[in-house]
Amino acid sequence: MSTLYTSDFNSLRAALWAVFALLALGACHRQAPSAAPPALVLASPVHSYSGIGAGESIRYPVEAAARYSNAMSFRVAGKLIERNVRLGDSVHKGQVVARLDPVDAQKQAASAKAAFDAAEHRLVFAKQQLDRDQAQFAQNLIAVNQLEQTQDAYAAALAEHEQSAAQLVVARNNLQYNTLVADHDGLITSENADTGQVVSAGQAVYGLAWTGDTDVILDAAAGDLGRIAVGQAASVTFPALPGRRFEARVREVAPAADPQSRTYRVKLTLAEPGPAVRFGMTGDATLSRAATAGNTAREAPVFKVPATAIFHHGKDPAVWVIRPTDSTLELRPVTVGSYSERGTTVTGGLRDGDNVVLAGVHTVYAGQSVKQARPLFDGEADGDVAEPAAALNAATPINAAATPINAAEAR
């Protein structure tokens, strides 16, 4: 019985060893897991830029406008019966551009002239009467009170004469005000009244842009005011005038923001606009950063990246950079100069030509092997056609569940 039990135990042990041997042999022939394919990331090389001359440039859309303009209107009310110019016409100083119905003004002027003539006759008569009474008084032929009455009548006639003369001047001016005359050489920019319309005094009939200096106007953000100063140089281009560039200088910076847009109006004067630049043309102005007095040191390079490229490691901003040696990711701390709707300005931490990840910065990790995809319409580089960002749809997706980055990996 004991011998039988020992034999069965030995048989079971041999079977177990055989199973272990087969498992070990199978494990030896198992293939090692293949490495994960590189993740496709949207990236692009960054390049430093500078402004006109020295410093960072600022670019804004602009509109050409006359330095001075005004609304042309009648000083008196009346019915508009004649318009001699139209929208876009050039006018000269002293040119008649519109007329009101002058009938009432003519009658008022005639009435004032008649009143003036009557007052003049009364003044002449009062003066003659005064001369006679003074002569008679000298001979004691009239009483003192009679002379005083004559003097009073003469003073009243003289005052009435002056009053009627002033009223005649006003009446003639009102008649003249029925004719609208251009005060300056310029261009008609708007028509605000039609022939036959009854207009009130001061109501705009035409808009006049004065001939002379031409300004370009832009609305600057509050964050850029520190880099804009009166006298600052600028370069202006207009899509309507391809191939031409105009020099300009900042003439005026608004001291207060617009209550609606919260932007600051900046006016630049074109050095030589020429007849090709027309009022209302839109374009772009590139302003050099205002130079700091006595600062001759070389400025650090400045880079522009989209806001989606910024990864905040704690409170510090950083960007993901693709190492050129092994195509792995490196988290690079950077210094951000400013944030705006046009992107982020990086003033430190990047080098010219660094490949920066532009999107999906929260789904990658340090040391991850990646394959670069250029932005759509980014063009060709080094003779090779760049892969469009649309290839991300068919490529291996970025592992959103990758191991979170820690402080040691970031370093």
Q: Class of the 75-100+179-209 domain? A: mainly beta
CATH 2.40.30.170 in the chain, residues? 57-67+214-288
Q: What is the pTM of this model?
A: 0.54
**Angle made by CA atoms 76, 78, 81, in degrees to the nearest 5:** 125
pLDDT at 20: 63
- List CB contacts of 330: < 8 A, sequence separation 6 or more: 320, 321, 322, 323, 366
SS3 state at 22: helix
Q: Which helix (H) or strand (E) holds 264?
A: strand 264-270
Is 268 within 8 Å of 61 (Cβ atoms)? no
List beta partners, residue 57: 288
CATH 1.10.287.470 in the chain, residues? 103-177
DSSP for 106-148, written as a single string: HHHHHHHHHHHHHHHHHHHHHHHHHHHHHHHHHTT-S-HHHHH
pLDDT at 394: 39
Residue from 319, 307, 306, 409 nearest 367 by CA = 409
pLDDT at 34: 60
Say how far apart CA 374 and CA 322 lie, in whole Å.
Answer: 13
CATH 2.40.420.20 in the chain, residues? 42-49+299-410
Say how far apart CA 263 and CA 256 lie, in whole Å.
Answer: 8
pLDDT at 345: 84
Say how far apart CA 158 and CA 247 lie, in whole Å.
Answer: 65
Is 213 within 8 Å of 265 (Cβ atoms)? no
SS (H, E, C) 224-258: HHHHCCCCCEEEEECCCCCCCCEEEEEEEECCCCC
Q: Does domain 57-67+214-288 have CATH number 3.50.50.60?
A: no
Where does 103-177 sit in CATH, by number? Answer: 1.10.287.470
**Surface-to-core class of residue 349, CB atoms within 10 Å of its CB (0-12 exposed, 13-18 middle, 19+ buried):** middle
The fold adopted by the segment(s) 42-49+299-410 is 2.40.420
SS3 state at 290: coil
SS3 state at 363: coil
> What string of pLDDT tens digits covers the 411 residues of the chain?
444 445 555 666 666 666 666 665 555 555 555 666 888 888 888 887 653 333 457 889 999 999 899 999 999 999 999 999 999 899 999 999 999 999 999 999 999 999 999 999 999 999 999 999 999 999 998 899 999 999 999 999 999 999 999 999 999 999 999 999 999 999 999 999 999 999 999 999 999 999 888 899 999 998 888 889 899 999 999 999 998 999 999 999 999 999 999 999 999 999 888 888 888 899 999 987 654 434 444 456 788 889 889 998 888 899 999 998 888 999 999 988 777 767 888 888 898 889 999 988 888 888 888 888 766 654 443 333 334 444 444 343 434 334 344 433 443
Say how far apart CA 94 and CA 294 lie, in whole Å.
Answer: 51
Residue from 269, 219, 242 nearest 60 by CA = 219
